[in-house]
Structure 1
Amino acid sequence: MATLTAFIASPAILNLSRSRFYGTRVVGPIRIQCVSSSSSPSSSVVSSKKAAFLEKPPVETKTGTWQWRFQDNAVNVYYEEHKEEGASNGKNILMIPTISDVSTVEEWRTVAKDIVMQKGKTDWHTTIVDWPGLGYSDRPSLNYNADVMENFLVEFMNASDSPLKNLGGDLVVIGGGHAATIALRAAAKGLIKPSAIAAVAPTWAGPLPIVFGRSSDMESRYGLLRGTLRAPAVGWMMYNVLVSNEKAIQSQYKSHVYADPNNVTPDIVESRYALTKRKGARFVPAAFLTGLLDPVKTREEFLNLFAEIDGKMPVLVVSTSNSPKRSKAEMDALRGAKGVTKFVEVPGALLPQEEYPLTVADELYKFLQENFGSNM
């Protein structure tokens, strides 16, 4: 217990607002609306796209749950589909939210709707799915790790009863943060075979390992913290101190999740806070914070994932101009890397698809048009 106390007493644990405790990933979702200040680099894009929204046909949205069977568990996983009203199924996109304590499909809604409403040669159908243990999916007390999350993604994409199976046609996977890297790892193993992958602000190292390293002593401390967070009573108390409080959420959003602190509204903080109060909310964060959801352990392994799928499918990397230093270094390492078909940089920090959704949607749509626009 003394070791755990010393670990928790570290300034990087107690003061989330001044540390990079969440510095290698992002924190999840917001409402459907676009959030942008007049001084943001994408304000002109937002204004023009808002006007365009009014001229386009409405988007048809369908929600549902899919049952993921893992070991002896049946986990109801939430998903939603977006397509232009009246349009036939064309080509398909699977969007997967960034893994975090407040992750949810809402992170991608504006991006999904904007791509669907584009008037090009191809009609796009988008599906957004919540990870098990996060968002609006069930949150059972599983022993979550990167392999478990990869298993879910593979099953969701390949199962005969998956919502994706009825769509047909090309399937492009778009993910943020750790989600993108898990998808890349599954593709490198040949477990999934998407037509293309877009990695938005991709990350691979969990908050504590990036700050404190992975020595055997630190791994022991991570295990102690993880066990405490998962415990029935004291776990909720610890979770409330470290994660589930509005001040901590506001702090992390303003310091490194969003690029512009003015975009962090009370509504955003309140909605994120509500997600941390759902039953079982602490189990995935306990794994994520302590590095169990890290798809790789080194930058070399990270780069190798891209190299493994070189020539097999187009890969877009969307970096951000205001990511935390450590996260940006990993993204910048992908510029010109083997297997990266296209590298772009957009405004934002760790959650550009939520803070500047229309800018991100523009880059994604360009990538889609370049690779699939004429393949009807």
Structure 2
Amino acid sequence: MPFNPTPILGGTVREFYWNWKKKPVTVVYEVLGEGQPILLLPAFSSVSTRGEMRGLAERLAQRFQVYVVDWVGFGQSSRPGFRYGPALYHAFLKDFVRGVFHQPVVVIAAGHAAGYVMQLAPSSVWSWIVLVAPTWRGPLPTAMGEHRWFYNLLRFLIRLPLIGQLLYWLNTTPAFLGWMYRRHVFADPAHLTKALLDEKWRTTQQRGARFASAAFVTGGLDPVRSRSQFFDYFQPPLPAPVMMVIGEQTPVKSLAEMEILAHFSGVGIQILRLPGSLGLHEEYADQLADGILPFLNKYLS
């Protein structure tokens, strides 16, 4: 069950009841504002929570009705000891969208959420798609290459009661989280305040948090296995208008993937370049809102 689901965006907290392999799951999401609906999907990470979409949600809620979800296994949603993988999240996103919305909806997805959004796009559930710093490969495979046997071993070890908890603790200390944010997530270290880092750390300390987190870090939540599979999602004709937002300080390997998609895949997606890195949706929320609102106004007028 979720831990004390409370408003963190100033909106109304709702719960979506779901089942995965006959096991009940409660997904927490928050709604704020009025008007046409927009769905915000936070990035997968060890500290994933709908709270990272706060600034963007508050800006968009001035005109739209904004839905912000905590993924299964993260935030205030249930965190059971599943063997988390793409099939779970593909199924969840499909059921959530069809259960909550009754017409195609605008979706703004950060990081790894991009692959899940594009996989669902042919179902005509999206009216417009914004992908913010889209990624398809987890941190360890990006840094170390494709050593699946090793990542499978890590996931097995982290599931163990004692050694797993120790390994997870070592990778979620405030010092390690701060290093991760400065290296990959935020472009300006001055934006990483102690209060923000404490909030991130508390997110990692919830019961059951290590299972989905370990799956993401080791590549177990990668929506595809190769760049070509990811690019296949963008072959024309696109099922909905797509904008891709690229952070100017994105880490080299991730930036190269985005630039290839932007320039050499031959697809007609709109490109928006902003300050920031993989966490630009949180760090530069106002600039992101300023960049996408003209397009939202055009498509939703």
Q: Per the shorter chain, which TM-score range?
A: over 0.9
Aligned residue in 2 for 1:223: 152
Establish whether residue 67 from structure 1 lines up as the match of residue 17 from structure 2. yes
**Aligned CA distance change for structure 1 residues 63 and 233 (closer, same or farther; 3 Å):** same
Selected match of 1:327 from 250, 254, 269: 254
Q: Between Structure 1 and Structure 2, how many residues are aligned?
A: 293
Aligned residue in 2 for 1:142: 82
Selected match of 2:95 from 147, 155, 163: 155
Deviation at 1:285, TM superposition (A): 1.6
Q: Which runs of 5+ in 1 are unaligned?
A: 1-30, 33-59, 85-89, 118-122
Aligned residue in 1 for 2:5: none
Instruction: Describe how 1:186-197 pairs up with structure 2 within 5 A.
Output: 186-188=120-122, 190=123, 193-197=125-129
Deviation at 1:273, TM superposition (A): 0.5
Quick one: distance in 1 between partners of 2:181 and 2:250?
Answer: 12
What per-residue deviation string (whole Å, max 9, x for no partner) do you get for residues 103-128 of structure 1?
011111211121221xxxxx421100
* Stretch of structure 1 that moved more, 346-355 or 169-178: 169-178
The runs of at least 4 aligned residues of structure 1 exceeding 6 Å deviation read none
Establish whether residue 283 from structure 1 lines up as the match of residue 233 from structure 2. no
Deviation at 1:333, TM superposition (A): 1.4
Aligned residue in 1 for 2:145: 213
Quick one: distance in 1 between partners of 2:138 and 2:11?
Answer: 33
Deviation at 1:170, TM superposition (A): 4.4
> Is contact 1:334–1:340 with CA below 8 Å preserved after alignment?
no
Amino acid at match of 2:17: Q
Selected match of 2:242 from 307, 315, 338: 315
Q: CA RMSD in A?
A: 1.6
Selected match of 1:176 from 106, 110, 128: 110
Q: Percent identity?
A: 34
Quick one: distance in 2 between partners of 1:266 and 1:234?
Answer: 29
Q: TM-score, normalised by structure 2?
A: 0.93
**Aligned CA distance change for structure 1 residues 177 and 80 (closer, same or farther; 3 Å):** same
Quick one: distance in 1 between partners of 2:247 and 2:30?
Answer: 27
Establish whether residue 274 from structure 1 lines up as the match of residue 202 from structure 2. yes
Deviation at 1:211, TM superposition (A): 2.0
**Aligned CA distance change for structure 1 residues 311 and 205 (closer, same or farther; 3 Å):** closer
Establish whether residue 265 from structure 1 lines up as the match of residue 265 from structure 2. no
Quick one: distance in 1 between partners of 2:268 and 2:119?
Answer: 14
SS at match of 2:246: strand
Aligned residue in 2 for 1:41: none
Aligned residue in 2 for 1:24: none
Quick one: distance in 2 between partners of 1:292 and 1:265?
Answer: 30
Deviation at 1:257, TM superposition (A): 0.7
Deviation at 1:204, TM superposition (A): 0.3
> Is contact 1:145–1:287 with CA below 8 Å preserved after alignment?
yes
Amino acid at match of 1:226: R
Establish whether residue 115 from structure 1 lines up as the match of residue 60 from structure 2. yes
Highest CA radius of gyration, 1 or 2? 1
Amino acid at match of 2:61: V
Establish whether residue 83 from structure 1 lines up as the match of residue 33 from structure 2. yes
Aligned residue in 2 for 1:20: none
SS at match of 1:306: coil
SS at match of 2:261: coil
Q: TM-score, normalised by structure 1?
A: 0.75
Aligned residue in 2 for 1:4: none
> Is contact 2:70–2:77 with CA below 8 Å preserved after alignment?
yes
Quick one: distance in 2 between partners of 1:212 and 1:256?
Answer: 15
Amino acid at match of 1:76: T
